[in-house]
Chains A and B, each alone.
Chain A
Amino acid sequence: MLFNEVSGATHLLTLEALVVLQQLGAAPTSEATIAGALRERFEVDDATLSDDVADLLEQLSSLDLIEPCPL
């Protein structure tokens, strides 16, 4: 569970999304690095991993939990 203190919204997240948020909370990170972190923690499908990460980042962005930034 995640409570966004800015919006007041509550989110029910998957473990994968939580790992991504924790990583991005520490520092801005590239999609490739995020994919690598997910590969270490979970069983992933390498054929779709890149698209899956992009989808997940898009969803988190649409919830105003993250935003794109230059690295």
Chain B
Amino acid sequence: MSLVADLGRTELVRRLGGPGLLLRTGPFVSRIQSNLSLVADGIGALYRDYPVDEPGGFADFQVRLLHSTGLRRWWHPQACFDFDGREPFAPLPLAQAWPMFEWVMNWCVSNRAHRYLIVHAAVVERNGCAIVLPAPPGSGKSTLCAALVCRGWRLLSDELTLVRRSDGMVVPLARPVSLKNASIDVIRAFAPDAQLGTPVPGTTKGTIAHLKAPSDSVARFGEAARARHIVFPRYEAGAATTLIPLAKGQLFMRVAENAFNYFVLGPAGFDCLAGLVDDCDGHEFCYSQLDEAIALFDALAGVTP
């Protein structure tokens, strides 16, 4: 199977501008069509380890990100997202095409992949122990997730935890980690070798830069993992590292609040979430020091120092 890196820039641009690039991310194939150089640049840099299928094959999602037309081609140009012929998002300034691509890829999964229970959460794995990190924006979830994968944890997802309904296993969807504002420099300082995309200022979430998923995490896209802990992280400047247990009932309700499709799935969602909660211990986690946080996560996974 070819990787994006094998195509070379010319073929990558040709497929994006023509029949579409069939990009495999976790269990999904997306047919991506785009005439935006920022999208080609981003895929070439941050998705170079990802498998691609031959043009004409089956795709779960049909994604088109195109340059605005008419007067908008020249005056305040925009990036427009087209999904199966519909435009679920308003166009964004052209300079935000790359973050838009990542949001579109998340949108496709969270709105369509109902064979999974989808939790708005990062999930990482080490030593066979997956830890789910649900949290609202601003909680430090992505920063913590990025720090963990820079210290040897496997990235399963930064944003969408996919719980397979048939057996409760977490299915990997390793894609770039979205870092915002101050987190970008925090991770640059914490992991100077980390591969970050170009920061994009002025989005609705502030400045965004994406951390490339580790190659090993991408290569292991077929290895599902069993979740053992669900940790609700909260960054607080100067706070001590604390881990407070959550009762199972509370844990269930908190995860349900963070699930995209719990109500769509009905009884199947209840059963799937109940299985996940049965498998896991729940915790509230407060931190300010990434090294201490990582040591604590290593201990949860049974990794000896």
| Chain A residues with a Cβ under 8 A of chain B | 1, 3, 5, 8, 10, 12
Give the docked Cα–Cα distance between A5 and B269 (Å): 11
Residue in chain A with minimal CB distance to B263: A8
Q: Please report whether the interface of chain B is mostly helix, strand, loop or mixed according to DSSP.
A: helix
Interface string of B236-274 (1 = CB under 8 A from A): 000000000000011011001000000100110010001
Q: Which B residues between 18 and 46 are near A, CB-CB below 8 angstroms?
A: none
Give the docked Cα–Cα distance between A8 and B267 (Å): 8
The answer on a CB contact under 8 Å between A1 and B249 is yes
Query: What number of residue pairs across chains A and B have CB atoms under 8 A from each other?
Result: 18
| Chain B residues with a Cβ under 8 A of chain A | 249-250, 252-253, 256, 263, 266-267, 270, 274
The answer on a CB contact under 8 Å between A3 and B267 is yes
Give the docked Cα–Cα distance between A8 and B266 (Å): 6
Would you give 18 A-B contacts (Cβ < 8 Å), ordered by A?
Answer: A1-B249, A1-B252, A1-B270, A1-B274, A3-B267, A3-B270, A5-B266, A5-B267, A8-B263, A8-B266, A10-B252, A10-B253, A10-B256, A10-B270, A12-B249, A12-B250, A12-B252, A12-B253
Q: Please report whether the interface of chain A is mostly helix, strand, loop or mixed according to DSSP.
A: loop
| Neighbouring B residues of A1 by C-beta, 8 Å | 249, 252, 270, 274
| Neighbouring B residues of A3 by C-beta, 8 Å | 267, 270
CB distance from A21 to the nearest CB of B (A): 15
| Neighbouring A residues of B256 by C-beta, 8 Å | 10
| Neighbouring A residues of B253 by C-beta, 8 Å | 10, 12
The 10 closest A-B pairs by CB, nearest first: A3-B270, A12-B249, A1-B252, A12-B253, A5-B267, A8-B266, A3-B267, A10-B256, A8-B263, A1-B249
